[in-house]
Structure 1
Amino acid sequence: MKIDKLSIIIPAYNEGGTIHLILNKIKAVELIDDIQKEIIIVDDCSRDNTEQAVAEYQATNPDLNIRYFKHAKNKGKGAALHTGIAQATGAYTIIQDADLEYDPTEYNDLLKPICNGFADVVYGSRFMGSNPHRILFFWHTIGNRWLTFLSNMLSNLNLTDMETCYKLFDTKLLQSLKLREKRFGFEPEVTIKVARIPRIRIYEVGISYYGRTYEDGKKIGWKDGFRAIYCILKYGLFSSK
């Protein structure tokens, strides 16, 4: 399958100190089959210098296709993704956090099942394969695995990492979904709704993971875990929309 352009959605909140680093990594990646890159940054009303950092990067890298949007008030990661999804013009869309936990050099690993005609959606799993993973929080890992297990029960999938950031979608398919979750509930909602699409082909590939500590700026916490449980039950049991 020939893909002309990949839309890369970056939700950003107070990432002024690192966003230029992730943009450098994205710029350096040469995508397979000469696929072009569209970078969509959605600033979720950051209180730091994120907007200035992006503007300076755009000024010094005019050859990079960066589109910048900013929310007038903080709405959450899911809401930032909704904005980015609506603006995507590439044939396929991937989600990229603004921090340095995920490595853009692995985009091609996720694209291969698409380009080879096998997949419509590809998830990057932190829990499979031999790529490097930073060793961090035991209970955080257990929580992720348990949420994935619960999601699998209600979606009839066998994913190993439902909560992963790296999700690659057919853009039109993604834009056809009625997504409602404005914060970290996006992950279980989009997974369950995608799983319900008839004849959908979902693949999973191993990726590396360079996790941040909370001192480094990691934002997800235990309250988000409870919200994820609520969303799995809501969309898995009680909602078909």
Structure 2
Amino acid sequence: MLSLIRVPLALLYFVVVAIIGNFLLIFRPFNPDNTRVFGRIYSWGGTRILGIKLNISGLENIAHMPPSVVIANHQDNLDLYICGAAVPERTVSVGKKSLLYIPGFGLLYWLAGNVLIDRSSSKNSKATLNATTEALTKGNRSIWVFPEGTRNHGNNLLPFKKGAFRMAIEAGAPIVPICVSRYAGQLDFNKWISGTVEIEILEPVSTAGMTFKDTDRLMDECWHKMKEKIDQLDKKALLIQ
């Protein structure tokens, strides 16, 4: 019964924040901190409406962080409410161009300064790499990427795509992994506390001196680090439930 109230309220909150955000961002479009601000707003209200408890550790790893490539596991549409609490300062995300067509939110996403990509074209992929590299090196911004490329729905961590790692190597930027315990399919919105989600921000992985030949090695290193940590966070979350 509680879920019948919570889910519509969460959707309403999503829409209301987008509408108000579109108006506010007219006065500060493409500011590099817009994504962090609205990530916090979405997370603050969304988790409270849905009864999700967040435990975040490793925040010291993003304090005074240089321009970096931030990678996180991608589970569900609720990532907006859950991962939004961990977005570092001056960080924009890379998302599919189709996000533009979500009423209200698409405009907010664009005005927040996020990077939209068209995966159907290799030419556009190269342009995206150039744009994100310039944002890292000249724009003093960090880039948030879901390297799996699609939602894993709370199942095993999917294989990573190379884009985020090529981007980091090209810019000479560190990679900051953010690990989220598996929550998709685990939350019960009929309970007052629907569940606990553990988030841990790992220490940066340096790309200094690397070339594109190191992409696979770097990608595998980050995948195994994240997989190990996510498994640990899952056990921790189960103990708290």
Fold conserved (TM > 0.5)? no
Using structure 2 for the length normalisation, give the TM-score. Answer: 0.31
Higher helix content, 1 or 2 = 2
Output the TM-score relative to the length of structure 1: 0.31
